[in-house]
Amino acid sequence: MNLRRMAANVHPLKFEVLAECPVSRARTSLMHLPHATVETPVFMPVGTQGAIKGVTPSQMEAMDCRIMLGNTYHLGLSPGTKVLDKAGGLHKFMSWDRALLTDSGGFQMVSLLDLTEITEEGVNFASPYDGRPLLLTPEESIRIQNTIGADIMMQLDDVVSSTTTGPRVEEAMHRTLRWLDRCIAANRRPTEQNLFPIVQGGLDADLRRRCAKEIIKRDCGGYAIGGLSGGEQKEDFWRMVHVSTEVLPNDKPRYLMGVGLPLDLVVCCALGCDMFDCVLPSRTGRFGSLLVDSGMLQVRRKTCYEDDDRPIDETCSCSTCASYSRAQLHHLFRSQEKVACSLATVHNLHYELNLMRRIRASIKAGTFPEFAINYIVGQFPKKDYPPWCVEALAAVGICLPT
């Protein structure tokens, strides 16, 4: 069976590069998907179980969010494929008519490590809900994702912690390639749903290159970079991203999984990544940490905000900043009002989506290097930049002022 031929020319994704940075590897594009046209670089909010905590789909539409992420492992357990199939897929079940991407469930090999056993067949889980044994194979992951109906599905990969070293890393890389071919063969809807392979290889540059060269032999709609942002040193993180984007093709979207810190987004756009996802804006929002260009405001903890009548960000157009002051949010968090979590999450998601708009606009204007420099200087006005950030940007021709 020729799996390359199976995957070729049937993926329902058109990737249209609009502009490229003349200095770095940043570019802005249109990614045409069955349910939406998505502008890249793009940040994808995470609705693990088909919803973002405290935020409705209509609120996400109001922010002009074009694509969100769900998790195959959790959705497969609850509500389950029977319910989703009856509803006509996750789009209808969650009342979202724009694009969706589903993670394969592979990340749970790390996040639920105590509950898993990995074999060549698949991943044996103990359900975190009731402890019953579950087997997630590449075929079962794709079956669930076909039922969910996401525009982009992820292959099931063998994920190890980003700090793991030794033979287990190479074993996981080779197994990821074998599981990719099983995922391609199992996909019942190749003309309706895209399947993205994932570059693995830990912190070994050679393994990363070898994996990337292998997965692009399968002509898929796009490619992902996985297994990072899990506790490794930033010096290792950016180098593995750089190594991967150097190999992945220019005419397909490159998805960096699990990355959402605003500084990381700016740097990794410069390194050539197009798509990002992370729970950071919603999770930090629920703890009262609010994103602004200078970093984060800790409105829940710091008493300096108890009589501050300014919005979170005077330049922000989100519904929270339009109606609530820092003092109000401080009070709501201190009073343990649940609405505070929702208001903060709305702001943080709007901030990240708008940051990507600003990045796209600067690429179109040919000013992305200046944008990146100004943004990072804004976070580090004393020019005490993190060394990894300096090195990463220098690798693609952007030099921070000293």
What pLDDT is stored for residue 3 in this prediction?
Answer: 46
DSSP strands (E only) in 25-92: 27-32, 37-40, 42-45, 67-71
3-state SS record for 248-264: CCCCCCEEECCCCCHHH
What is the amino acid identity at position 49?
Q
Query: pLDDT truncated to tens, each residue of the chain (402 aa)?
Result: 454 444 445 789 999 999 999 999 999 999 999 999 999 999 999 999 999 999 999 999 999 999 999 999 889 989 999 999 999 999 999 999 999 999 987 666 555 555 678 899 999 887 777 778 889 999 999 999 999 999 999 999 998 888 899 999 999 999 999 999 999 999 999 999 999 999 999 999 999 999 999 999 999 999 999 999 989 999 999 999 999 999 999 999 999 999 999 999 999 999 999 999 999 999 999 999 999 999 999 999 888 999 999 999 999 999 999 999 999 999 999 999 999 999 999 999 999 999 999 999 999 999 999 999 999 999 999 999 999 999 999 999 999 999
* Closest by Cα among 229, 152, 214 to 180: 214
* Closest by Cα among 68, 70, 66 to 30: 66
As given in the structure block, the two tokens for residue 105 are 């469930």
What pLDDT is stored for residue 9 in this prediction?
Answer: 54
Rounded to two decimals, the pTM is 0.95
As given in the structure block, the two tokens for residue 329 are 């949010």
Q: To 10 degrees, the CA torsion angle through 104, 109, 115, 116?
A: 90
Half-sphere exposure of residue 198: CA atoms within 13 angstroms, side-chain side: 31
CA separation for the pair 204, 62 (Å, rounded): 42
CA separation for the pair 119, 150 (Å, rounded): 27
* Closest by Cα among 217, 138, 201, 133 to 167: 201
What pLDDT is stored for residue 129 in this prediction?
Answer: 73
CB 148 within 8 A of CB 70: yes
* Closest by Cα among 156, 150, 148, 145 to 121: 156
Residue 144 neighbours by CB distance under 10 Å: 22
CA separation for the pair 91, 108 (Å, rounded): 23
By annotation, the residues acting in catalysis are 103, 277
100 DSSP β-pair partners: 68
What pLDDT is stored for residue 239 in this prediction?
Answer: 98
